[in-house]
């Protein structure tokens, strides 16, 4: 890992929870925890989203009392970064790692976003690290390398079908994430509901749920330290 690795955190721009009339977006813990871990490690962290500008935050995640979330909310620079995300279409430079933040909003805009697929594929092909947590792996369903899905044949996790049913959103989301990752050839490894579950397959790092956010970020740093895959 270089002395100052560059990490791109990718966020959703989608704020509507299907046709429920409720709002959604990114899950704040899944942004705040990795952001602070990467910053503490000396990384240069940037935020991007499909539309650019302010990224929507799921209101259900804003009341978290987790220390990292409270610290993020109190950090003027972090709040400014969230309010002024870069547009994914404008991201052309190289990053050492990309990390897709979860939240239900991801399920609607990132799976089919061509700029997201381009950035992920380019990062992977350069030998960079690709990571995602919770619903974030939905962004990987459109990413292809050498004509094949990036997840094909690789160990991966994400928000499970069981967790989606427990959240009572299995009939709201456009597809079941666990099912889709399996259909694409991913070797899905789910753990107990709501418990940390981090899966690293070389330079691909995924986490199952919000509780996995810190573990995924730390595995990204470990992968930047020299592991290949």
Q: Which residues contact 37 (CB under 8 A, 6 or more apart)?
A: 214, 217, 218, 221
Q: Which of 96, 92, 75, 74 is nearest to 1 (CA)?
A: 96
| Number of domain units in the chain | 1
Q: Is residue 229 part of a domain?
A: no
Q: Is residue 44 part of a domain?
A: yes
Q: Is residue 219 part of a domain?
A: yes
- What's the CA gap between 134 and 3, in Å, rounded? 29
Q: Which domain holds residue 36?
A: 6-224
Q: Which residues contact 193 (CB under 8 A, 6 or more apart)?
A: 160, 162, 163, 166, 209
The pair phi, psi for residue 163, each rounded to 5°, is -70, -35
**Can you give the CATH number for the domain in which 74 is found?**
3.40.50.880
pLDDT at 3: 76
pLDDT in tens, 145-182: 999 999 999 999 999 999 999 999 999 999 999 999 99
Q: Is the pLDDT of residue 226 over 60?
A: no
- What's the CA gap between 145 and 131, in Å, rounded? 15
Q: Is residue 90 part of a domain?
A: yes
Dihedral (Cα; 10, 43, 204, 200), 10-degree rounding: -120
pLDDT in tens, 58-72: 999 999 999 999 999
Q: Is residue 202 part of a domain?
A: yes
Q: Is residue 1 part of a domain?
A: no
Prediction pTM value:
0.96
Q: For 229, how many CA atoms within 13 A lie in the half-sphere containing its CB?
A: 20
Q: Is residue 130 part of a domain?
A: yes
Q: Is residue 59 part of a domain?
A: yes
């Amino acid at each position: 890992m270089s002395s100052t690795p560059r990490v791109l955190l990718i966020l959703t721009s989608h704020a509507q929870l299907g046709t429920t009339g409720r709002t959604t977006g990114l899950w704040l813990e899944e942004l705040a925890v990795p952001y602070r871990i990467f910053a503490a490690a000396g990384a240069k962290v940037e935020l991007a989203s499909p539309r650019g500008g302010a990224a929507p935050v799921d209101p259900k995640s804003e009341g978290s009392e987790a220390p990292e979330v409270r610290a993020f909310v109190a950090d003027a620079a972090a709040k400014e970064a969230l309010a002024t995300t870069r547009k994914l279409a404008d991201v052309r430079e190289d990053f050492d790692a990309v990390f897709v933040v979860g939240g239900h909003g991801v399920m609607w805009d990132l799976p089919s976003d061509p700029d997201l697929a381009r950035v992920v594929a380019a990062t992977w092909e350069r030998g960079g690290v690709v990571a995602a947590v919770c619903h974030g792996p939905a962004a990987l369903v459109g990413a292809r390398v050498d004509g094949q899905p990036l997840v094909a044949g690789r160990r991966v996790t994400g928000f499970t079908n069981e967790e989606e049913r427990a959240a009572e959103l299995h009939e709201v989301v456009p597809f079941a994430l666990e099912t889709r990752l399996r259909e694409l050839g991913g070797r899905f490894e789910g753990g107990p509901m709501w418990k940390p579950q981090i899966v690293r397959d070389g330079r691909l790092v995924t986490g199952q749920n919000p509780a996995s956010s810190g573990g995924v970020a730390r595995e990204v740093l470990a992968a930047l330290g020299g592991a290949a895959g």
